[in-house]
Structure 1
Amino acid sequence: MYIDQVGDRTLTDCSVLIVDDQASSRLILETLLDETVACFSVSSGREAIEYCKHNKPDLILMDVSMPEMDGHETTALLRQKPSCEHIPIIFVTSSSTEEEESRCWDSGCVDFVVKPVNACTLRNRVKSHLQHKLRSDFLETLIYIDKLTGAYNRHYLDDYLPRLVKDSERNATPLSLVIFDVDHFKLFNDMYGHLDGDSCLWKVSKTINDALLRPMDKLVRIGGEEFLVILPNTDVEGAVAVAERLLQTVYNLNILHNSSEYGRITLSAGLAIKTANDDKTIDYVMLEADKNLYAAKTSGRNRLISPPLTPTKKAKIPSPSHTIKSF
């Protein structure tokens, strides 16, 4: 017996990524599953990794035998990425030997099916693992999601950030952190009341979250009206562009705030970055971001303070009252 809905999500809301170098095999799998879930397909391991950078499927059907990069190698690379490590992967293999089964389990799959695929077996195994995924995701929301704003909470930050730092060090990629603070929020609460204050925080959080374009980018509520945006594999120019866009997006919400010099809700932000060639701890990077946030608050609010940009890339100023400065 399958439970079709857990929380707000149903099986039909789930997505499955099919990875197979043969078009006929992809078509067969899609045909067998398209009435149950949304299916997307790619033809190689590299395409699967690239797809998962921008999308987060609920389950992956992975062909084992593929040229250039086989299913085992692809799975190993996906398991190294914090945003992908918990995606269940079912191997599709033409071999049913004990040695191949053992290799599949060792590679990190949750199950496997043997070619030629039995339609009934495939559908039921996919449903079973998706049901488990729905339950896990729902439990994660209870543990890791801030109930008021819908952003991640500090429990999530404590679990996610150390793994992200290791991933950044392993791949020699930059990791950017941006701390946002709602300007004059105490005055907003005093003037409009705590219910409107809660509504304001929810709108700001949802707006920021909706404006983040990559699954790997995360929004965390770290204090009352303070939020952290984590931007993996993002240099200072890219992080400034993201932060600049988020500040402007919240500014454009035009939430009335008569106690603010801007007449509306605005954000101040501080940015810091950990690069591949520095020895800064992540706690030190957080402290740098917090210091830059303080500088933004004391120099006029409604602005971002960041590390200096390279001479060829200047931060864009979205509007006269919304300035981006380097510190």
Structure 2
Amino acid sequence: MIVLGFESSCDETGVALVDAAGHAIPRLLSHALHSQIAMHQAYGGVVPELASRDHIRRALPLTEYVIKQSNLTLADVDVVAYTRGPGLAGALLVGAGVACALAAALGKPAMGVHHLEGHLLSPFLSQDPPEFPFVALLVSGGHTQLMRVDAVGSYALLGESIDDAAGEAFDKSAKLLGLPYPGGPHLAKLAEQGDAKAFNLPRPLMHSGDLNFSFSGLKTAVLTQAKKLGDQLENRKADLAASTQAAIVEVLLKKAMSAMTLTGLKRLVVAGGVGANADLRNQLNAACAKRGIRVHYPELHLCTDNGAMIALAAGMRLQAGLEALDGAYSFDVKPRWSLAELGAKSLPSAGAA
């Protein structure tokens, strides 16, 4: 079964093909990604209307490229999948519209996919894929969540951000430091030159007794410290970047290890854009090695939004018998869409270890 997947939830247009037949895990055949970073840099952030228009320009050329790279034809596609949500409404509508129109033209079914489920399952495309069950630390853009994952479609929420997510803390702090868009990677790069202990920044909710996150207070602390430095900020920018990153990583590390203790599981999956952060990976690797925990990540080029994770999620849901495909091509998108609507559940609150 060949699945063609489209991702257009924000500022990347991704298209990919996977083969979900005859493989325990769908096999990636080809994928292509166009980033809008250069276009949005002039504005210091994503401009939704410009993002939507660019998705329109990129979707079909990327599809042609992916088909050519796979040595298949459009006639070989069995299912066309697309990101239904969450994300920017206009951007989602572009991907959904292109996918459903193409599916209708081919006479093949279309399938909407949850963006976060794509991230959650993306490590299955790595050279070291996980096995169920595992704890997932999902750190993607505006989302920071800890989930217990027992199977495809079986997710229990352990904790989540109650305000800013980790990715937002990186990006907003970077903007306060005058770093270019997208801020997170620039802050991480600058942090390599700084002293992580230079500033005693808060670690919000680290000792809260639960597995929830909060990073808005950290952003405020960075702003306050930047104002205190005044003319000295430029000279101390690397130190402040390093201290900011250290605070975010320490909270993520503490909560992730607490989730492992709470569940008793010995396998951790880290997914989403922040999962590419080298300091986070290094500290998680060290902490997991001490505890006898296997930790899995997507390949670095699949940490950002991409079509491969959407095609993969569709393929894995089909393999698990969770989707009943039909010939309807009407669609809607869900800019706000909780994983709970896929059948996930919240576990009773428990003290963080």
- Relative to the length of structure 2, the TM-score reads 0.26
| Structure possessing the higher radius of gyration over alpha carbons | 1
TM-score by length of 1: 0.27
Bigger RCO of structures 1 and 2 (CA < 8 A, at least 6 apart): 2
